[in-house]
Structure 1
Amino acid sequence: MRETVKNNCQLLEEGEFSLPKGRAVKKLGEVCEIRNGGTPKTGNKEYWNGGIKWITPKDLGKLNDIYVADTLRKISEIGLQKSSAKIIPKNSIILSTRAPIGYIAINTLEMATNQGCRGIIPSNKIIEKYLFYFLRNSVNLLNDLGVGTTFKELSTKALASVQIPVPSLPEQKRIVAILDRTFKAIDQAKTNAEQNLKNAKELFESYLQNIFKNNNWERYKIENLTSLITKGSSPNWQGVNYVENSGIFFLTSKNVGEGELLLKNKKYLEEKFNKIQKTSILKKGDVLTNIVGASIGRTAIFDLEEVTNINQAVCLMRCLPNKTYNYYLMYLLNSPFFKNILHNNEVNNARANLSLTFFKHLLIPVPELSEQIKITERIKQFLSETKKLETIYQQKINNLVELKKSILQQAFKGEL
């Protein structure tokens, strides 16, 4: 533990967290009081639902502001007395110190915390918002100071040892004012970029809506446009085991994205699964749509070469090539109009689901095959243009996040 603190204090002085010359440098414990938290016994009703606000790392993680004035749960005065929780005065800093390390807020009213947080009470030598900005800039360092195997925890001793530059109060106020003003402008620019990103995505959805809702094409049941509509099965029911990267790719609803396959978390099964579940072995070009859970209606084309089967949450539709273009069907099912139809027909038992019978009997607008192909090409072109816009706006957002980090680092290197 001592070696960890020593190493990370060296990191603070030498590298990314180099300290400004000419400023007083103190240990956090020298300019702040650090108070631990605690949890009253949950089985004792007398300890809960009182008048004392009580915050946890989970609560801190849900905040959309740097300030916190209320908490989901409250404890009683006797609950405070019978636990290790302590009152944190208003205008202190509350920092999560495990699960995870680094959530942070300024409490505008007094409150207590659980053992996953520390209350950091600034002395008259330091302004709470200056302290807030310093700790936000130091999250990586705080994580490096954490120890533990199951999850890291930042001890009070390690936190108190962190070195902080402490300029005069007027200088702290100047730094805070610059950061406040700059971050307000960055946050506004980020909000604008996020709205532009949302608009770009909605533009494509609106384009699909206009194509598939406003038309006079003939309606046909999907079963009359396909040679196969089926779903897979669970290997647990078949006595089949999962294997490491050497069996059959087992595609689940998690792998079916909107217009694309999601392949980060691939699972594999013993090859005997395909002997049991022959009808759900995929062929290149199959249309896959999710029929169970929150992702119902998410549709993609299977475009892989590897041998693959599916689970019971994925519906396979194999288009008749002389009647239906598979990409046309995919875009249609991903359109807002047809997503609403799918969700309106969910059967909610233990978990929302759609039946194969529903898909077989679903009526969809179908123009001539040549027109389906032309429509699909126009959609692909429009999608390509909107993706370019999304990439631009997402990069702007990423750049603004990095700019904030850079400005914080400059502030505590004495470069503002």
Structure 2
Amino acid sequence: MKQGWEIKKLGEVSEILNGGTPKTNITEYWDSDIHWITPADLGKLRKPTVDDTPRKITRLGLEKSSAKLFPINSVVLSTRAPIGHLAINEVPMSTNQGCRGIIPSKKLDTWYLFYFLKKNVELLDSLGTGATFKELSTKSLSGVEIPIPPLPEQQRIVSILDKCFVAIDKAKANAEQNLKNAKELFESYLQGVFEKLFDERERKNISEVAKVIGGYSFKSGDFKKEGKYQVIRMGNVRPGIIRENESPVFIDELDEKALSKALLIPKDVIITQTGTKNKRDYGFTVIIEKENYLLNQRIAAIRFSKEFLPEFFLYFSWTNIFKDQYFANETGTVGQGNVGIRAITDSQVPSIPLKEQQTIVRQLDALRAETQKLEAVYQKKIADLEELKKSILQKAFAGELRSPEGAVSANDGYSPSKKENKKSPERV
């Protein structure tokens, strides 16, 4: 610890106030002029400060809820569901019981406190207790130790952190935009290829080029944690991916009749048939590449003839052309959407010679591989920038933070249309 720094408990250098919720069925408590925020509201903030809230309460509602009004420049911290959302309030504010307001003393800079808590979210979460959901008590929060340098040093640290984080956030935004551009590059090309084929070439119903098989209704009581056959369920399927480790279940033995209905074979294309109505959060397709998979209910398998490449259909199934046909047959309630087998068999696909299918698949494979490389670069860059933030915060509260000049280039990252920029952020 540097000379002149002290270690204090948070309760010694701040006042911690509780929130509360007025009774929701009493109109006199609601829709007035006192800002009132919840952990969920904090989690939706796009910036570290808050000057407005979705709901407001009355002075009477504040009194009846036993909540306290936090003065401006307090740090609002969610202390359950989840622990760790943070904001500095720019207007007087109260909260529900899932938050605390931390009012720093004159010895403690508000933004210094904010950054300290941001650095220590994992610690705060580890101090939470509770069976249904963890909650951080006022007592535990008060006992958290915080390094306290002289106020001018706190303000110097905050100034450096502000500059560094502005640059990091800008670099991260650039990387996120480049990641989006990379994905859109492939999607745009894919869409264009199949729009041309669908408009200009012969079409056939899927029933003319493939056999469609419905999933088998297994008894959940027969599932085991391991066994010969893995049962592929809705949660295991994402576009182009089988997530084997997503809540895996197995069946060790199955009679021949059930096995003949449920056993998938390599090159089957499977498609999920249930999700949220009007959300298109299903209809995911993937090609089976392994043996010993069983097909569960609400997933269908499409087994193509030798004249139709499963890979060609897989790419087609990711286009809006196919999705528009598939979801046109959606049924179900507001909460749940379902698509039946007929929606698959009656959907049309471009019908072109096998060699032409192979050429298109090779071209799409090559472009997809390149865009996936770009995506991996951008995703790593985003992760590295988050790690850089953690590193800077670690140094800040160990008294090791230096001047930020040249720390991060706001233009770090690159566009898919340009050559890779090898320069990475220089650590502060």
Aligned residues of 2:263 and 2:292 also touching (Cα < 8 A): no
3-state SS, counterpart of residue 415 of structure 1: coil
Describe the superposition over 1:288-331 as per-residue Cα deviations: whole angstroms up to 9, x where unpaired. 1122224333211011222412212x12110011x201111111
Aligned pair in 2 of structure 1 residues 142, 247: CA closer, same or farther (>3 Å)? Answer: same
Relative to structure 1, is the Cα distance of residues 240 and 410 closer, same or farther in structure 2, using a 3 angstrom cutoff? closer
Separation in 2 of the partners of 1:389 and 1:186?
Answer: 20
> Structure 1 residue 54 and structure 2 residue 36: aligned?
yes
Determine if the alignment matches structure 1 residue 77 to structure 2 residue 59: yes
| Correspondence 1:133 to 2:115 | yes
* Paired residues of 2:231 and 2:295 also in contact (CA < 8 A): yes
Amino acid at match of 2:160: I
Contact 1:296/1:343 (CA < 8 Å) preserved in 2? no
In the aligned structure 1, how far is the partner of 2:47 from the partner of 2:328? Answer: 36
Which residue among 205, 208, 213 is the counterpart of 1:230? 213
**Corresponding residue for residue 6 of structure 1:** none
Q: 1:150 to 1:291 in 2, by over 3 A?
A: closer
Q: Distance in 2 between matches of 1:274 and 1:137?
A: 58
With 169-178 and 183-192 compared, the bigger mean Cα shift is at: 169-178
What letter is aligned with 1:298? F
Q: Which amino acid aligns with 1:311?
A: Q
Report the counterpart of residue 329 of structure 1 in structure 2. 313
Match for residue 399 of structure 2? 414
Partner residue in 2 for 1:245: 226
- Give per-residue Cα distances to partners, 1:160-197, cap 9 Å, x unaligned: 12222222332222111111111111001000000111
Q: Kindly indicate whether the alpha-carbon contact (under 8 Å) linking 1:240 and 1:272 is maintained by their aligned counterparts in 2.
A: no
Separation in structure 1 between the aligned mates of residue 293 and residue 26 of structure 2, nearest angstrom = 56
- The structure-2 alpha-carbon separation of the partners of 1:320 and 1:202, relative to structure 1 and needing over 3 Å to count, comes to same
Unaligned runs of 5+ in 1: 1-18
- Check whether the contact 1:259–1:334 (CA below 8 A) recurs between aligned residues: no
2:352 & 2:136 partners in 1: Cα distance?
63
Q: Which moved more, 1:266-275 or 1:202-211?
A: 266-275
96, 114, 123: which one pairs with 2:96? 114
Q: Distance in 2 between matches of 1:385 and 1:333?
A: 20
Matched, 1:220 2:201: no
| Equivalent residue in structure 1 for 2:237, among 251, 256, 268 | 256
TM-score normalized by the length of structure 1: 0.88
- What is the match of residue 401 of structure 1? 386
Measured in 2, the distance between the counterparts of 1:180 and 1:344 equals 50
Pick closer, same or farther for the CA change 1:275–1:63 going to 2, 3 Å: farther
Unaligned runs of 5+ in 2: 402-428
Q: What's the secondary structure of 1:105's corresponding residue?
A: strand
Give the SS at the match of 2:46: coil
Q: Which amino acid aligns with 2:155?
A: K
The equivalent residue for 2:83 is: 101
Query: How far 1:218 moved relative to its partner?
Result: 1.7
CA distance in 2, matches of 1:247, 1:81: 63
- Paired with 2:274 and 2:293, the residues of 1 have a C-alpha distance of 23
Aligned amino acid, residue 231 of structure 1: G
* Deviations, residues 37-71 of structure 1 (Å, cap 9, x unaligned): 12223343333333322212122122221111222
How many correspondences in the alignment? 393
**Of 65, 68, 71, which aligns to 1:89?**
71
RMSD between aligned alpha carbons?
A: 2.1
Name the counterpart of 1:309: 295
Whether the 8 Å contact between 1:98 and 1:151 is mirrored in structure 2 is yes
Offset at residue 270 of structure 1 (A): 7.1
1:207 aligns with 2:189: yes
Aligned identity (percent) is 46
Larger CA deviation: 86-95 vs 33-42: 33-42
Equivalent pair of 1:233/1:277 in contact (CA under 8 Å) = no
Residues of 1 paired with 2:181 and 2:256: CA distance?
Answer: 44
Matched position secondary structure for 1:408: helix
Contact 2:14/2:102 (<8 A) preserved:
yes
Q: Cα gap change, 1:167/1:232 in structure 2, threshold over 3 Å: closer, same or farther?
A: same
Provide the rounded CA distance (Å) in 2 between the counterparts of 1:400 and 1:63: 20
Note the alpha carbon deviations across 1:374-416, whole angstroms, 9 max, x for none: 2112211111111111111100000000001110111111111
Contact between 2:326 and 2:344, CA under 8 Å: does it hold in 1? Answer: no
- CA deviations on 1:115-165 (whole Å, 9 max, x unpaired) are 221100112222211110111111122223223333332221221122222
**2:347 maps to amino acid:** L
Distance 1:200 1:256 in 2: 23
Match of 2:261 among 279, 282, 288: 279
2:264–2:292 CA contact under 8 A, matched in 1:
no
Contact 2:4 2:150 in 1 (8 A): no
User: CA 1:340 to 1:191, structure 2 compared with 1: closer, same or farther past 3 Å?
Assistant: farther
Amino acid of the structure 2 residue aligned with 1:296: Y
Give the Cα–Cα distance (whole angstroms) in 1 for the partners of residues 293 and 324 of structure 2: 33
Moved more, 41-50 or 197-206: 41-50
Paired with 2:126 and 2:133, the residues of 1 have a C-alpha distance of 12
Distance 2:60 2:164 in 1: 44
Report Cα offsets for 1:8-47 as digits up to 9, x if no partner.
xxxxxxxxxxx44431332211221110112223343333
Greater Cα offset, 84-93 or 254-263: 254-263
SS in 2 for 1:317: strand
Aligned to 1:359: 344
